[in-house]
Amino acid sequence: MTSQERRALVAAYKERKTVAGVFAVLCTATGEAWVGQSRHIDTEQNGLWFTLRLGTSPFRSLQAAWNAHTEADFRFEQLDRLPEDASPLARDMELKARAARWTTRLGARAL
């Protein structure tokens, strides 16, 4: 890869649109659910699974369930996606509201 190609790839990465949304982590072994929100819903699972594998997740109840079961017992689902053109303030308020609704609807714990 030439330096020009690398610069083009880096520029394209920086210009990509991010999608905010609400997600759920479901434990199929116990039926437990956790609901969270993210400004980068498409990459949220990678970061979350990384911290869970290391045992360093800030979400204690999720980490405890992860430690008690296998990785195959967990599923990540995108529940809701916000439009890309939402302003940052509206996006943050809407994320909180949607996450609260999904938490109630699923009887889940909030992340």
d(CA 95, CA 75): 21
pTM surpassing 0.75? Answer: yes
pLDDT at 12: 80
pLDDT in tens, the chain (111 residues): 899 998 988 888 777 777 899 999 999 999 999 999 999 999 999 999 999 999 999 999 999 999 999 999 999 999 999 988 878 888 999 999 999 999 999 999 999
d(CA 10, CA 94): 30
In which element (H, E) is residue 93 found?
helix 88-106
Q: What's the DSSP call for residue 23?
A: E
pLDDT at 40: 92
pLDDT at 6: 87
The dihedral formed by the CA atoms of 31, 81, 37 and 12, expressed in degrees to the nearest 10: 130
pLDDT at 1: 84
pLDDT at 11: 83
